[in-house]
Structure 1
Amino acid sequence: MRITDHAAARAVLSDPSYVPPPAPSGAPFGTLAWLRSQVSRFASGPVHAERRALVEECLSALDPSALRAAAAIRAALGVELAEIPARVLGEALGIEDTDALVRAVDAAATGYLSGDGGPEADAAVATLLVLVGPAGDLPRVVARITVLLQAHGATAGLLRNAVARLPPGPALEAAAPASAPGGSAPDVSAAAGSATAGRLLLETLRRDPPLLVTRRVDAHQGAPVEIDLVAANEGHDEHLTFGHGLRPCPGAEHAMAIATGVLETIMEPR
């Protein structure tokens, strides 16, 4: 079943009988399949609650205003937009080798949602387990990795889509890393510069979210359900891109802070 209606989507996301498709268990330790079986995203019931609490604990130690400022600095320095969320969060978490972190997060993120991994993704997960720490506290290490992977996939995707919505105008070098292979940067006009980054992000979240579909399974009958986020968001001020009901995104404030810091910088008139 595919849901495109806003009210029906809200109802499913608020109904405990609809759960995310579970990740298979029993994979070897340190592989991508093992990681997916350990995170909160694919868990349900008390296990999900315990794992989500650790993600929220991790996020509670991160100041959104500081993340916003750090993201703005990175954007001003011309750091590739796709790398900024993981770099900013890695620094805030005290991870020293952010170059290695970004490479590992990028490789692991490719199959994080789908489960389609491979040797490179497995090696990246093993690297993340070493980089992220603290040693001896595996559930919290997994929670930190969860935050980094979600930011790389969702926040970086939000930035990419928001930049693509900017209207033509004077080119900005800060946006060049997110451009097409030809290397030309997305352009920003004076009108865009006067618009707020927040409005652009909200419009992107409604109309061009980084994740187009969210999936659930009827826990009683096993029937799959797909929620078309773009269709469900259409015509509503309250978008469902950050989730709704029982499992809203715990890092929405942090994601918006990082994305806002970047966009405010690249939209600033030069």
Structure 2
Amino acid sequence: MTRHADIRAVLTHPACRVPAVETGPPDTLAWLRATVSRFSPPQWHAERRAIGVGALAALDPDELRREAAELTVAVLDRAGDRLDVMRHLARPVPLRVLAGRLGFADPVAAGTAVTVVAAAYHPGVDPALVRRADGEVAALLALAPPGPPEVRANRIGLLVQACDATAGLIGAAAHHLLPPPTERPASDPRGRVGTVHLLAEVLRLDPPVRATRRVTVAPLRLGGRDLPAGTSLLLRFDAANRDPAVFAEPDEFRPGRPGGGLLTFGAGQRGCPGERHALALAAGVLDVLRERCRRTGAELRHEPHPTLRVPTTMEVTVR
């Protein structure tokens, strides 16, 4: 599905549910997927979501942004004249900040483990990645603050959700917002726009989460079509965010567009609870990159993934 109105209808319709996942032995990746709110069936979703919402409520986005900026400065100060944003900043900085604020005993180790888990998080990946992720799930549970397994799992889930999505946003934003090797003309309006407004337009035009899935559990009519129960739906955020019925000149990069409508963070009861926190973490990194870095002009490539768009590398020059 690609139309903005149809996707919003699916995301908010009770007959359209997240596809079920199978659980596994305790402390494994399959167990984690089946325990976090993202993949939980309706009867467990609200209670598990409340765990994540409560944990995030204790975090001040302004403090997350400040700490992410401080860590970014420290990395750039050690970097020399060139740096790969994806390797050294886009994943490590947000994960270290978020893990520390969520109470994980060793934020650096937690961030490293989460990267392994995130690589195997979606069903259908290489079994070898799953086996490696199983060990890292156990390590994350040991690093998490004390509490019932379900509470610790959903705190880990916040880190996993932030890993690739925030990294993809930072990589895309660096590509769109940093000046190229040649001097940017002074008339470019991006130089005068706040980072958060710029990130919102990057999320619309080049979202790190390109799509999500739902399945119908009852017959319904959507987008002028009758869908039987059991219909699998692929919801294309990248297309909906360029729907001309909602966004004027949808292929143009125009920060500060009036109104809302962005679907990258979802909608309804399963909308992402960490939108403000993700934007704050990304903004902290980008605030510093915009001051001190330029793109090198190298071709941008992305990791192979059916629903995520994350650059493999993003090299910049540092001053």
With over 3 angstroms needed to count, the CA separation of the structure-2 counterparts of 1:188 and 1:200, relative to structure 1, is farther
1:202-256 per-position Cα deviation (integer Å, ceiling 9, x unaligned): 1111111111111100013111001111111114352100111231110001111
From 12, 35, 38, the counterpart of 1:38: 35
Alignment of 1:131-142 (within 5 A): 131-134=143-146, 136-142=147-153
How has the CA–CA distance of structure 1 residues 188 and 28 changed in structure 2, closer, same or farther, with 3 Å as cutoff?
farther
User: Is 1:99 the counterpart of 2:108 in the alignment?
Assistant: yes
For 1:103, the aligned partner's letter is T
Q: Does 1:151 align with 2:149?
A: no
Matches within 5 A, 1:86-235: 86-114=95-123, 116=125, 117-134=129-146, 136-169=147-180, 191=188, 192-220=190-218, 221-234=229-242, 235=244
Structure 1 residue 115 displacement after superposition: 5.3
| 1:82/1:188 CA distance change after superposition, 3 Å | farther
Summarize deviations over 1:7-26 as a string: whole Å, max 9, x none. 1111111101100111112x
**CA offset digits 1:119-165 (Å, max 9, x no partner):** 2111111111101121x421211111011111112112211111121
Determine the C-alpha separation between the residues in 2 that align with 1:61 and 1:233.
31
How many pairs align?
Answer: 251
Amino acid in structure 1 at the alignment position of 2:234: E
Distance 1:115 1:20 in 2: 16
Percent same amino acid among aligned pairs? Answer: 43
52, 55, 62: which one pairs with 2:52? Answer: 55
Q: Does the 8 A contact of 2:89 with 2:285 survive in 1?
A: no
User: 3-state SS of the aligned residue for 1:214?
Assistant: strand
Match of 2:68 among 71, 96, 99: 71
Could you say what secondary structure the match of 2:96 adopts? helix
Could you say which residue in structure 2 is the equivalent of 1:7? 5
Query: Is residue 2:265 matched to residue 1:256?
Result: no
> TM-score by structure 2 length?
0.74
| Residues 63/188 of structure 1: CA separation in 2 closer, same or farther (3 Å cut) | farther
Q: Which runs of 5+ in 2 are unaligned?
A: 76-87, 219-228, 248-259, 293-318
CA distance in 2, matches of 1:91, 1:188: 37
TM-score, normalization: structure 1? Answer: 0.87
Q: Check whether the contact 1:20–1:217 (CA below 8 A) recurs between aligned residues.
A: yes
What is the rounded CA distance, in whole Å, between the counterparts of 2:40 and 2:215 in structure 1? 12
Question: Over aligned residues, Cα RMSD in angstroms?
Answer: 2.0
* Greater C-alpha radius of gyration: 2
Q: Secondary structure at the match of 1:267?
A: helix
Q: Give me the whole-angstrom Cα distance separating, in 2, the residues matched to 1:83 and 1:224.
A: 35
Match of 1:114, as an amino acid? P
Q: 2:221 corresponds to which residue?
A: none
Q: What does residue range 8-27 of structure 1 map to in structure 2 within 5 Å?
A: 8-25=6-23, 27=24
From the superposition, tell whether residues 212 and 55 of structure 1 become closer, same or farther in structure 2 (CA, over 3 Å).
Answer: same
Shift of 1:189: 7.3
